[in-house]
């Protein structure tokens, strides 16, 4: 299945870091009854993700939330410890929830996985952004090239709100 506008997100579990350590959050925990700006990246700390995609999100975070977004979420096929360190290094104002999809279960369930093993990366997520309302995809912006941020950045999603 490849996710598209109008689809409901499948049930999945993410790991998030809390003050008590790693915790499991389900898609319902994150999306039910909320408007969520979801940004997916191929990998924490990778060049395009770290230097282009993340700044596009956080430079627009106040404006995105000002348009009625309850949660800004970032998902990647990385473990919760890497995602927590990346949050520390990029989200200075604590504006986003970083979702670790360590085994790529969510990413595979929505058809957004790709094989990066030729570059030593294993299974990764395609780069995209979504507006999700109460678990249903309302806007979907998929990058044709994972090394670019042309349609999946915070500025693009902000313009769609």
Annotated catalytic residue: which of 37, 41, 49, 110? Answer: 49
- Residue 146: its pLDDT value, please? 78
For residues 106-145, one letter each, b for 16 or more C-beta atoms within 10 angstroms of the residue's C-beta and e for the rest, the string is bbbbbebbbebeeeeeeebbbbbbbbbbebebebbbbbee
Under 8 Å CB-to-CB from 66, ≥6 apart: which residues?
none
Active site residue 49: yes
Res. 122: pLDDT tops 70: no
pLDDT in tens, 31-73: 999 999 999 999 888 877 777 888 889 999 999 999 999 999 9
- Residue 46: its pLDDT value, please? 81
CA distance linking residue 5 with residue 155, whole number of Å: 19
User: What are the backbone angles phi and psi of residue 39, rounded to the nearest 5°?
Assistant: -120, 130
pLDDT in tens, 75-113: 999 999 999 999 999 998 999 999 999 999 999 999 999
- Residue 44: its pLDDT value, please? 86
CA distance linking residue 113 with residue 149, whole number of Å: 17
- Residue 134: its pLDDT value, please? 98
Average pLDDT over every residue of 15-29: 96
Average pLDDT over every residue of 138-149: 91
What domains appear along the chain, each with residue ranges and CATH number?
A: 13-160 (3.40.30.10)
- What is the pTM (predicted TM-score) of this model? 0.94
């Amino acid at each position: 299945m490849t996710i598209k506008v109008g689809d409901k997100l499948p049930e999945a579990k993410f790991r998030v870091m809390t003050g008590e350590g790693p915790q499991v959050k389900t898609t319902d925990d994150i999306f039910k009854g909320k408007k969520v700006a979801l940004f997916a990246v191929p990998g924490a700390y990778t060049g395009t993700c770290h230097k282009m995609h993340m700044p596009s999100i956080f430079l627009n975070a106040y404006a995105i939330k000002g348009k009625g977004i309850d949660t800004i979420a970032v998902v990647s096929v990385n473990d919760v410890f890497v995602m927590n360190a990346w949050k520390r290094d990029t989200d200075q104002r604590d504006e986003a929830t970083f979702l670790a999809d360590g085994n790529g279960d969510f990413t595979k369930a929505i058809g957004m996985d790709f094989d990066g093993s030729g570059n030593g990366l294993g299974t990764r997520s395609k780069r995209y952004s979504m507006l999700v309302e109460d678990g249903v995809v309302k806007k979907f912006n998929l990058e044709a090239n994972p090394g670019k941020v042309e349609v999946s950045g915070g500025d693009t999603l902000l313009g769609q709100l």
